Amino acid sequence: MEAFLGGMALLLDPKILLVVFAGTLLGIVVGALPGISGSTTTALLLPFTITMGPVPAIAFLGAIYCAANFGGSITAILVNSPGDPSASATAFDGYPMALKGEAGRALGMSAVASAIGGIFSVVVLIFAAPLLARMAYSFGPPEYFALAVFGLSMVALSGGDSAVKNLIAGAFGVMLATVGQDITTGVERYTFGVYSFTDGIEFIPVLIGLFALTELLEQAAQLGKRTALAKLGAVRLPSWADVRKCGKAISLSSVLGTFIGVLPALGATTAAMIAYVETKRWSNNKQEFGKGAIEGVAGPEAANNAAVGGAMVPTLALGIPGSTTTAIILAGLLVQGVRPGPHLFTEQPMLLYAVFSSMLLANLLYLALGLGFAKLFARITLIPPQFLWPAVFVLSVIGAYAPNQAMAEVWVAIAFGFIGFFMRRFGFSPAPLVIGLVLGKLVEETLKQSLIIFDLSWGGFLGRPIALTLFGLTALFLLAPWALQRLRARP
Amino acid sequence: MSANRVAAAAVIAVAAALFALTFGFEKMPEGLSGGFGAEAFPRLVLGVIAALAVLLFVPGAQSEPQARIPAVVYYTAGSLLAFMALVPVAGMLGAMFVFLLGLGALWGERRAWLLLVASAAVMAAIWGVFVRGFAIQLPPGFWS
């Protein structure tokens, strides 16, 4: 309780308030810009949080993460081009509403549903994360290894072209984490004589390359596509009739979104898509969906913001990222010297409660900003790419260069920009690669420790019920979609 | 060959090359490595990658044909490399300014005055925030 109050009291600190406000504002702005997602922005700004200290840094990144999902809905509704992938489902009904002259109503509902989903999930985070951490307190290396493998297997379901491609990308991420000195023997692996690789590949340039620079090349391929802004009108709070109509959708989607967010590697985009389908299934107005149903805006928006708090649960309690953006936030914490996991709850409870309270504040802030300034944020989509993207590149270069003040890191960022571009061309999503990179060290360390405990016998895992259960779940999640497909294909 | 098969073949080739490199890792006495040497984990992961690539290759005839990459993407990629080549000559700030002008023009902006004003504004912000504010030492150029 003391830590909780202490964490809340941190919100009275003007520096934290300013950081959360700036993060929220930036989150909405970048969320509204097609191509620049919450994960791109957190990757891009990660290096500049190093000087902030852990609490303001995670409060800043957390606020961007919360607000970007909402920001994405602005362009999804007004331009039919989701600013953030998590807002894709919002466009299905948001844009038809805008065409009918109801953009203000759609945006108002989007802001309210997002805030309710977001706040619900932060409340779940406040209670569930310590419980999960307490459960994980007795975990040894075999359980952590099984958990990390489970987290990696979940990348199979994280969207993209195919499960196999996601798994390949995730495994290459794990391979990237092996670059540098081996932890037990000190043997150098894949360093190619480059001194800065001895300590391993730095997260920051890889993230900047995979997200910001890959997107720069993608944008080059899409030059010439013009966006038309739908007429906005005044953004307003939902009417009582709208609230009654959407109450079920918001409640269902908040719970669904939080649950999906908690599952490792599945983030806001998956949550929003599933919530859209479920909202439609449970709605009395199924025929309106796709033609401008307000529930079709409320459901996905509540879910994608609920997934934010949900995704933070395994990230903070176990050190296993719940989504791509939390993988980047996790990397940010590691750069700050903070290793998330159950011990964090006893060693640095203030940090955690500061995170919880800043996320609550961010949800309230974007509700106010969204209702008040959506019209202004919508104008941002009109910045021409020939001015926006060269500036993003310049910022990427500074971001990659600044932490170690080394040009080698800029080369790494550019190389991963090219790698990410070709990955996308062949249907590989860069997100699993990031999750693999973040989890790679944990997988190797815990595997080695487990084998030492088991005297180099893999059979030792059979005597660990939690690890076995997690391996069972891994197999189930990997094989179930394939088995279902085979069953359906039978005549 | 389908795009999936090309991708699978490329993955197998990269995995094989990385596997071969593990034979060059320094050998350590077994007592120090605990029986699980520095090469063991990468080999295990590469084995998984190869198995997954085979799964991608075997049924992989079904995939969309690849759309052509527009020429402007190659020019953009080239401009990133040109930027890196220019840094030792013009310094990072100088190279950034040239890049902002060059890529803006390459992407179709024909109003030179607007490009100049926008690029100068971005550079002023970069200089003010990062050079003055965060005291980041950017690489000087040959002429700086």
Residue B17 in contact with partner chain A when CB distance is under 8 A: no
Measured between CA atoms, the residue of chain A closest to residue B47 is A171
Residue A195 in contact with partner chain B when CB distance is under 8 A: no
H or E element, residue A189 = strand A188-189
d(C-alpha B115, C-alpha B128), whole Å? 20
What are the extents of the domains in chain B?
1-62, 70-144
- pLDDT tens for each residue of B58-84: 875 555 666 788 999 999 999 999 999
Name which of B140, B134, B105 is nearest B119 in CA terms. Answer: B105
Contact B25 A398 (CB under 8 A): no
DSSP-derived letter for residue A188 is E
Closest Cα of chain B to A189: distance in Å? 6
Confidence at residue A2, expressed as pLDDT on a 0 to 100 scale = 64
Phi/psi for A322 (5° steps) reads -85, -10
Contact B37 A402 (CB under 8 A): no
**Interface list for A 39-58 with B (CB within 8 A):** 48, 51
**Interface list for B 100-139 with A (CB within 8 A):** 100, 103-104, 107-109, 118-119, 122, 126, 130, 134, 136-139
pTM: 0.81
d(C-alpha A435, C-alpha A162), whole Å? 16
Confidence at residue A260, expressed as pLDDT on a 0 to 100 scale = 85
Distance (Å) of CA A424 to CA A213, A421, A428, A429, A466: 12, 5, 5, 6, 36
Residue A432 in contact with partner chain B when CB distance is under 8 A: no
Measured between CA atoms, the residue of chain B closest to residue A445 is B41
B30 or B57: which leads in pLDDT? B57
Gyration radius (Cα) of chain B, Å: 24
From A171, A184, A398, residue closest to B130, measured CB to CB: A398
d(C-alpha A348, C-alpha A346), whole Å? 6
Task: Work out the average pLDDT over B114-130.
Answer: 92
Confidence at residue B117, expressed as pLDDT on a 0 to 100 scale = 95
Measured between CA atoms, the residue of chain B closest to residue A402 is B136
Chain A residues in contact with B45 by the CB 8 A cut-off are 171, 174-175, 178
pLDDT in 10s for each residue of chain A, 491 residues = 666 676 677 777 888 889 999 999 888 888 777 667 777 888 888 887 888 888 888 888 888 888 888 888 887 888 776 667 778 788 888 888 888 888 888 888 999 999 999 999 988 888 888 888 877 777 888 998 998 888 888 777 766 668 889 899 999 999 999 999 988 888 899 998 888 888 888 888 898 898 889 989 988 988 876 656 566 666 667 788 888 888 899 999 999 889 888 877 667 877 888 888 888 888 888 788 888 889 999 999 999 899 888 888 888 888 888 778 888 888 888 888 888 888 777 777 777 887 888 888 888 998 888 888 877 777 776 778 899 889 989 988 988 888 888 898 899 999 999 999 999 888 888 888 988 888 888 899 899 989 888 888 888 899 899 899 989 988 988 887 677 667 766 66
Name which of A250, A366, A227, A365 is nearest A301 in CA terms. Answer: A250
**Interface list for B 63-92 with A (CB within 8 A):** 63, 66, 69-70, 72-73, 75-77, 80-81, 83-84, 87, 92
